[in-house]
Structures are given as structure tokens and as C-alpha cells.
Amino acid sequence: MMKSTLLVVEDDAAILHLIDVTLTMNYYKVITARNGKDAAFRIRTEHPDVILLDLGLPDIDGFTLIKQIRTDIDTPIIVISARTEEQTIVNALDCGANDYMIKPFNVDELQARIRVALRVSKKTTTEENNFKNGPLTVDFNAKMVYINDQPIHLTPNEFQLLKILSHHVGKVLTYQVLLKSIFGYVNKCEMASLRVHMASLRKKLNYSEDDAHMDKKLIITHPRIGYQMQHLV
């Protein structure tokens, strides 16, 4: 079985060693970089399956590096940072990161997020016209949506929300990204409208806020940040 390749971009030697050893023991091929220049070289030559990225690099701002990576490839990026500010998390996600973890982090949780990123990245683009995720099936060409093979009717805005979420399974999409996808611009005055559309979409997808099993939900909320469609078997 071919090992998945993970690129760890981290300038702290102790943290880099911890991640390297832990993931290598769990049968990943781990490559490392201590700065943005080395990271760019590794990406070009090693073609990693997932990138784990610290924002505080010595030679380049992490946000800038994410943007540079996104101009060329869609490889999943998981940011691992000690920065806890909401705006920092939002900025990282808006720049193109798929996920964000705060240091100190739980190694088991990191591995779980890596597995999600790998599953999502292995979905081929040829499947995009007919999308399936757990009980959900979407025919984008016909604009038809099914839950457990039963058709459901969505409004145009609900369908647009579902479309962008399903095209980025596993990625946290910020309110700004979702607002722009619906209205074509970002206006925080439309936040109430966004929440109404999302609540209606969830209801039609048989989503329940009272469901105790978060790992079974199609769409989950990241308070004050945005929404995420989970990958379901």
C-alpha cells in the first residue's frame, strides 16, 4: 500500500520533530520544511498529499504562502498555529486553508483531520457533476437533490449554498465566502439572511441541531467563523 506524503512546514524544531516522529510511526511518509522557500521547493518536487503549515515562518507570512500555494494546486492545507484570534482563523481559511488547529494540539485529533483531508482530496473531479456524500446525492446539471434517494426541493440560494459546501467537503467555509457565493458581494447586513437560508437547507436535509452525534451531521457550524460539510461514508 502506497504511503500518503505529508509536508510539515514548521520552524520550531521541537514541534517539527514531534509531528515528524508521530506521523512516521503511523505509516505516513513525512517530509519537512523550516521556512517558506523550502516549503515551495518541497511542494514542487515531492507533490505532498496534505500540507501541515505553521503561520509564523521566518521568511514569509503564512497567509501569503497559502495564497501562493493556491495559485498552483488544491492540495489540502491544515494550519497548525498558536494564534487563537477569530480573525486570524478566518483569514487563513479565506486565503485557502482547509482546516485550522490551535497549538498545543491533540495528536489523535491531528491524525483524524489528516484522514478527512486525504479522503476529500481523493475524490476525483469527474465526480463533480454527480455528487454523493452519505445520504445526500446531488445532480448539478439537473439541479436535483436527493436524501436517501428521495427528491427534495431547494430554493436557488439554498442550492447555491449546498453546491459550494459540497465542492469543498471537509473545508470550513467562512461567512464571507458563503455570502459572496450567494449575493456576489460581502455585506454583513446579509448575515441574518444567510442564517435563514442555512437553517432552511439543514431542515430539508433532515439536519437536527439536537442530534448528539456531530460526526454524523452533513453540515456543522463553526461559531463566529462559518460552516463545514463533513465527509460521510
Answer for the pair 121, 50: CB distance below 8 angstroms, yes or no. Answer: yes
Whether pTM > 0.75 for this model: the answer is: no
pLDDT for res 30: 97
Domain 5-121 carries which CATH code?
3.40.50.2300
What's the gap between Cα 3 and its chain centre?
21
pLDDT for res 128: 60
Contacts of 130 (CB under 8 A, 6+ apart): 137, 138, 139, 140
CA distances for 182 relative to 91, 154, 161, angstroms? 20, 14, 7
Domain 126-229: which topology? Arc Repressor Mutant, subunit A (1.10.10)
Answer for the pair 174, 94: CB distance below 8 angstroms, yes or no. Answer: yes
pLDDT for res 123: 57
All CATH 1.10.10.10 domain ranges of the chain, comma separated, are 126-229
DSSP one-letter string for the chain: -PPPEEEEE-S-HHHHHHHHHHHHHTT-EEEEESSHHHHHHHHHHH--SEEEE-SB-SSSBHHHHHHHHHTT----EEEEES---HHHHHHHHHHT-SEEEESS--HHHHHHHHHHHHHHHTS-GGGTTEEEETTEEEETTTTEEEETTEEE---HHHHHHHHHHHTTTTPEEEHHHHHHHHHSS--GGGHHHHHHHHHHHHHHTT--TT-S-GGG-SEEEETTTEEEEPP--
**Which three cell numbers, joined as nine digits, stand for 191?**
448575515
- Tens-digit pLDDT string for the chain (233 aa): 578 999 999 999 999 999 999 999 999 999 999 999 999 999 999 999 999 999 999 999 999 999 999 988 889 999 999 999 988 998 999 898 989 999 998 999 999 889 888 877 765 444 567 899 989 999 988 889 999 889 999 988 899 999 999 989 989 999 988 988 887 777 777 788 899 899 999 999 875 444 444 456 899 999 999 999 998 87
Checking DSSP bridges between strand 144-147 and strand 136-139, what pairing results, if any? antiparallel
